A and B are shown apart, each in its own frame.
Chain A
Amino acid sequence: EIVLTQSPGTLSLSPGERATLSCRASQSVTSNYLAWYQQKPGQAPRLLIYGASSRATGIPDRFSGSGSGTDFTLTISRLEPEDFAVYHCQQYGSSPSLTFGGGTKVEIK
Chain B
Amino acid sequence: QLQLQESGPGLVKPSETLSLICTVSGGSISSSGFYWGWIRQPPGKGLEWIGSISYTGDSRYNPSLKSRVTISVDTSKKQFSLKLNSVTAADTAVYYCARTIGMATVRNWGQGILVTVSS
Decide yes or no: A37 and B106 within 8 Å by CB, A44-B112, A98-B49, A100-B47 being known contacts. yes
Q: Which of A13-21, A68-76, A89-97 contacts B (4 or more CB under 8 A)?
A: A89-97
Contacts of B105 in A (CB 8 A): 35, 47, 50, 56, 90, 92
> Which among A92, A95, A97, A102 is the interface contact of B46 at CB below 8 angstroms?
A102
Q: Is the CB–CB distance between B110 and A44 below 8 Å?
A: yes
- Residue picked from A44, A47, A92, A96, most chain B C-beta under 10 Å: A44
> Which among B46, B96, B100, B111 is the interface contact of A88 at CB below 8 angstroms?
B46
Q: Which of B12-20, B21-29, B59-67, B77-85 contacts A (4 or more CB under 8 A)?
A: B59-67
Q: Is the CB–CB distance between A33 and B46 below 8 Å?
A: no
Q: Distance in Å from the Cβ of B36 to the closest Cβ of chain A?
A: 13
Report if A65 contacts B (CB, 8 A): no
Residue in chain B with minimal CB distance to A86: B46
Decide yes or no: A100 and B48 within 8 Å by CB, A50-B104, A92-B104 being known contacts. yes
Query: Interface residue tally of chain A, by bracket?
Result: 20 to 34
> Which among B49, B61, B100, B111 is the interface contact of A44 at CB below 8 angstroms?
B111
Contacts of B100 in A (CB 8 A): 92, 98
Contacts of A37 in B (CB 8 A): 47, 106
Q: Distance in Å from the Cβ of A66 to the closest Cβ of chain B?
A: 17
Contacts of B47 in A (CB 8 A): 37, 45, 88, 90, 100, 103
Contacts of B110 in A (CB 8 A): 44
- What 0/1 readout, one digit per residue, does chain B (84-103) give for beta carbons within 8 Å of chain A? 00000000000010001001
Q: Give 8 new A-B contacts, CB below 8 A, not counting A45-B109, A47-B105.
A: A44-B112, A45-B47, A50-B105, A56-B105, A97-B62, A97-B63, A99-B49, A103-B46
